[in-house]
Amino acid sequence: MPAPKTAIILANLGSPSAPTVPAVRRFLKEFLWDPRVVNLPRPLWWLILHGVVLPFRPGKSTKAYQKIWDADKGSPLTFFTRQLSAELAAQLAGRDITVTYAMRYGEPSIASQLRVLKEQGIEEVLVLPLYPQYSSTTTASIYDDLVKELDQWRHLPSFRFISDYHQHPAYIAAVADSIRQAWREQPKNALLVMSFHGLPEQLTQWGDPYFHHCHKTAALLAEQLGLSEQDWKIVFQSRFGKAEWLKPYCVDTLQALPGLGVTTVDMVCPGFAVDCLETLEEIAMENRAIFMEAGGEAYRYIGCLNDSTAHAQALLAVLGL
């Protein structure tokens, strides 16, 4: 019998369709209304979202997006995700495997990509959320969206969902190699700061493993790089709202380091598969300014794996292909 027709979906968060206030408002409305992202009671959150957040935040976010938006390529997150799927397809050339990508928010949607695959007669679907560390706010939300669409199908394909790869040897090796390459190009700074996206602390108490996954990833990277405890630090970025989030906070740490005698840092974001607003604008620009104003002398951002061949090969290992 012929092998089943297989498809891989690389799933990511998504981006606004344009760096404009209306487009950013539409994106934020979809993103922030997801109950996986904000756990407040819906009536209360609807009032806050429409009365406080959406009237004001899109303007600020639009300015941030405009700093990193490429006139030809568009959103870095979308571009790199698309290119990564193409690189994965190139690595699988000659095998009966289709590779595509989808976004949880914005376009192309998970539902639309599943329908395309259905029309192509795909019999087996492998879904890989581009979130190395599992979180209910990200990975589980992608699963929700998949199930929402598949619940409407009479004939379901075979299905495999990768929940996380935070300690997969191929992923750890690829990130470590990218850091070593940066250090070969320019000697390493005094401290390697590993920054992960923050979450409300309450989620960890409810059983979300994200905090522990981040610490495991960071520890494995430090081990692979041969770093001692004083050579690296883990922080959490992108705090939103007034609740307590995962600590230590990235901004607070960067402001304090020069006063502690650490004036040169390398920043890396091992929780982001591809560069995006939170890495290119927040870490590489905004947080750099904060560190330098506090007395820092050198600040280098080491980019994500993006659409590199090494990244594609690591993801094939994660998928077992």
Binding residues for Fe(2+): 197, 278
Residue type, 310: A
DSSP states along 209-269: -HHHHHHHHHHHHHHHHT--GGGEEEEEE---SSS-BSSSBHHHHHHHTGGGT--EEEEE-
154: which residues sit within 8 A by CB, 6+ positions away?
none
- Rounded to 5°, angle at Cα 202 from 201 and 204: 70
C-alpha neighbours within 13 Å on the C-beta side of residue 279:
23
Which parts are annotated binding residues?
197, 278
Is the distance from CB of 193 to CB of 283 less than 8 angstroms? no
Question: In the block, which residue shows the tokens 């502690």?
Answer: 260
Measure the CA–CA gap between 143 and 271, rounded to whole angstroms: 19
DSSP state of 70: B
Measure the CA–CA gap between 42 and 83, rounded to whole angstroms: 37
88: which residues sit within 8 A by CB, 6+ positions away?
8, 10, 99, 312, 315, 316
Measure the CA–CA gap between 181 and 300, rounded to whole angstroms: 13
User: For residue 227, what are its two tokens?
Assistant: 């770093």
Closest CA to 283 of 254, 243, 240: 254
